[in-house]
Structure 1
Amino acid sequence: MSVSVTYFDTIERNYSEVSITDEGIDTKTFLEATEGLVKLFDLLESKAFVFVKSDMSGNIKKIRERYLINTIENSTLESLVINEKVEKKRKATEGLLWLKRGLEFTAAALRHSKNNKDIELKVSFGNAYEATLKKYHGIFVVPVFTLAMGSVPPRATFFKNLGEDEIKIEEQYEIWLQSLEKIVARLVEFYIQGGHDKGF
């Protein structure tokens, strides 16, 4: 009997494997897990999400470049941002801020979809966009995202693309999503408490 391979089996790092300590969120494993999340947008089968993927990948690159300058001092996302602030730099801090916002949007859309199995995916993504990202976007960006939300495939197509074993998918999806939500909540609190989101 062949074992059904799911999307969650193919990613390099699961959010559940990202270390979170008193010092913060491990930078290396967070970046690896988020690269896996970017690939999730391929399962939505819409060219409109090319912009979303490009934006997230660009922000991942900014954070990784800062991390590689000193992997020990920048071992957590929090220390990376604080070290940049000391140097009066903002590149990675801004990249992480926008990535955080993108993850908030994605987590909200996927949670709504998982908890409301009778609602189509485009509704979940549309509602999540209105509640999270839209307020940060200008008049030229909103139409791009609105187009992407409207082109989301039926939820049945998306979940089929995640894998064939529905029971396995259900379990993996929940673990992955809960872990993502935990990370997002911690980042949101960190940016608010530290005032690192000012000016963006």
Structure 2
Amino acid sequence: MTDSQTFFEKMKRSFTDVPIAGDEQISTEEFLEASESLVKLFDLLGSSAFQVVEADMNGNITKLRKRLVQDGEHSKTLQGMILEEVKEGKKKTGTQALLWLSRGLQFTEAAMRETLDHPDKEMTITFTDAYKKTLIKYHSMFVRPIFKLAMKACPYRKDFFAKLGNDQKKVLEQLKEWLDALIKIVDIIFGFYLSGNYGKGF
């Protein structure tokens, strides 16, 4: 990253560049590239405690990529992939992976949104608040302490934002655009799951 580049400018793919068709069909390949770029955000948090978050998200991305390779014809869009798995009636690996990845994306969006909206709060607070609003309800009593430990390991706000780029005005503008695009996609995915009860049991 050059001095003039921000974290968002060096991404392979931003959520602002993920194609969404008129009927809200989300392109799978670009979505996965944007998700892979998002996971790199956790590297900037600089703590081994976040490895569990990264590993979980990367594991789900890998499962979705495998499905895309196996059935590229029906998996061009996320919705097409899920509908094909429903039709097959077998083990719904892609359906489960996308749901859990989307939950992780929702948490990331909420954590960064809290951080953006509350410049007076340190990230240990904003990330913990976001975790309580999103992921905690899906986690068992054994998993929760691991994630809570990660939230407590967040760096100081000023140190983290410095890693996002030198031009803080540009960083904040790009962060907001990225978050707006991310939550739009997450909302479409969750709406789709709800419409057909595709997340049942997951």
User: SS at 2:159's partner residue?
Assistant: helix
Q: Partner of 1:20 in structure 2? A: 20
Contact 1:59 1:96 in 2 (8 A): yes
Q: Using the TM superposition, give the Cα deviation of residue 173 of structure 1 relative to its aligned residue in structure 2, in angstroms.
A: 1.0
Contact 1:62 1:92 in 2 (8 A): yes
How does the TM-score come out when normalised to structure 2? 0.95
Q: How many corresponding residue pairs? A: 199
Contact 1:97 1:197 in 2 (8 A): yes
Deviations 1:80-126 (A, max 9, x none): 01101111131010000100110111111111110111111111110
Q: What letter matches 1:43 in structure 2?
A: L
Stretch moving more, 66-75 or 180-189: 66-75
Q: Using the TM superposition, give the Cα deviation of residue 3 of structure 1 relative to its aligned residue in structure 2, in angstroms.
A: 5.7
Q: Partner of 2:92 in structure 1? A: 90
Aligned equivalent of 1:108, options 110, 114, 138: 110
Q: Partner of 1:131 in structure 2? A: 133
Distance 2:19 2:189 in 1: 14
Superposed, 1:18-167 pairs within 5 Å as: 18-21=18-21, 22=23, 24-88=25-89, 89-167=91-169
Structure 1 gap segments, 5+ residues each:
none
Contact 1:111 1:177 in 2 (8 A): yes
Q: Using the TM superposition, give the Cα deviation of residue 60 of structure 1 relative to its aligned residue in structure 2, in angstroms.
A: 0.2
Q: Using the TM superposition, give the Cα deviation of residue 171 of structure 1 relative to its aligned residue in structure 2, in angstroms.
A: 1.7
Q: Partner of 1:8 in structure 2? A: 8
- Residue 189 in structure 1 maps to residue 188 in structure 2: no
Q: Using the TM superposition, give the Cα deviation of residue 72 of structure 1 relative to its aligned residue in structure 2, in angstroms.
A: 2.8
Contact 2:128 2:152 in 1 (8 A): yes
Q: Using the TM superposition, give the Cα deviation of residue 41 of structure 1 relative to its aligned residue in structure 2, in angstroms.
A: 0.3
Q: What letter matches 2:18 in structure 1?
A: V
Q: CA RMSD in A?
A: 1.1
Distance 2:9 2:99 in 1: 28
Contact 1:23 1:76 in 2 (8 A): no
How does the TM-score come out when normalised to structure 1? 0.96
Distance 2:199 2:124 in 1: 29
Q: Using the TM superposition, give the Cα deviation of residue 196 of structure 1 relative to its aligned residue in structure 2, in angstroms.
A: 1.0
Segments ≥4 residues shifted beyond 2 Å: none
